[in-house]
Amino acid sequence: MHRFLNDPTLAVPVFPGSHIAMDGHYLFLSGLTVTDIQGGDAVVGDIAEETRWVMRRLSRMLEYAGASLAHVVRVDIHLTDLDTIHTMDAAYAEFFTYHSYPARTCTESPRLSGGANVEITLMARQPDPTSAD
C-alpha cells in the first residue's frame, strides 16, 4: 500500500503532490530547494550553503519516514549554473561516506522555484523494520 506524507516542519506543498511517497520498498522525496525551508532564503546565492541546508532537511525528512541518508540509492540535482558543480559537490559529499555515494544525475536548470540555485530530490530504500540496518 502506498503512503503519502508531508513533513510537518515544511509548508504544505503548493503543487499537487506530497513531500514523501512510500511504496513499501522505497521512499521518494520530492525536490527541495532552500527557499522551501523557512529562513533558507537567507543563504540563496551561496551554492555550498544552499546545498547543506537542503541536504540537512532531506536527512530530517528521511528520519521522519524511518530512514537515513545511508539508505539513499539515487539523487537528482538541478543547478541553475552548472559551473558551480564543484562547489556543490564538495558540500554534497559531506553527507555521505567516502566512495559510498548513491547513483546521481546533475543537470542545469535555468530557473528553480523561489529563485534558488540548487534543487535536490532523492530516492531511498525503505529499511526493513525487523532488520538492524
Q: What is the pLDDT of residues 25-53, one digit of tens each?
A: 999 999 999 988 887 888 888 999 999 99
More confident residue, 133 or 107: 107
**For domain 3-125, which architecture applies?**
2-Layer Sandwich (3.30)
Whether the pLDDT of residue 4 is over 70: the answer is yes
Alpha helices in 5-78 (DSSP H): 47-64
More confident residue, 43 or 14: 43
pLDDT value, residue 130: 63
User: What's the whole-number mean pLDDT along residues 9-18?
Assistant: 82
Give the side-chain half-sphere CA count within 13 A for 2: 5
Cα 14 from chain centre: 18
Q: 34: closest CA among 119, 131, 109, 126?
A: 119
pLDDT value, residue 39: 79
Residue the block writes with cell 503532490: 17
Q: 92: closest CA among 109, 112, 72?
A: 72
Q: By 3-state DSSP, what share of the chain in percent is helix, strand and coil, each rounded to 5?
A: 30, 25, 40
Whether the pLDDT of residue 133 is over 70: the answer is no
Q: What is the pLDDT of residues 59-104, one digit of tens each?
A: 999 999 999 999 999 999 999 999 999 999 999 999 999 889 999 9
- Rounded Cα gap, residues 21 and 39, in angstroms: 25
Cβ atoms of 28 and 20 within 8 Å: the answer is yes
φ/ψ (deg, to 5) at 108: -95, 130
Q: Which three cell numbers stand for residue 99?
A: 566512495
The predicted model scores a pTM of: 0.91
**Per-chain mean pLDDT for the chain:** 91
pLDDT value, residue 50: 95
Whether the pLDDT of residue 129 is over 80: the answer is no
- Rounded Cα gap, residues 129 and 92, in angstroms: 28
